[in-house]
Amino acid sequence: MQFYDRSPVCKAALSIHLGYPFSAALSRELERIKAEAIYERHLGFIKPGDARRISFDQALRFERIHEETYQSLGFDLISVKPGNLD
């Protein structure tokens, strides 16, 4: 098993968010991901990062784009309610 900081799906969502078209390489990789089902669909965790500094409204829009992008590639999204680590 391998772990990645950012997946090509995240790159696709960021491209949509910024209004950029997908590159040919990204389009091919997204097709490969979908056809070969190379990623686990349920990792069960997320970690916040320092890479992005956007407003709350921008974050909500970006969240919707991420959801739509992952779902369009066949990933199942599971909502996890906030809670303590115990």
Q: pLDDT tens across 50-75, in order?
A: 665 667 778 788 888 889 988 988 88
44 contacts 22 by C-beta, under 8 angstroms: no
Res 78 pLDDT > 80:
yes
Burial class (CB in 10 A: 0-12, 13-18, 19+), 74: exposed
pTM: 0.51
- CA dist list (Å): 86 to 5, 36, 47, 78, 83: 25, 36, 17, 19, 8
Q: pLDDT tens across 2-17, in order?
A: 555 678 888 888 898 8
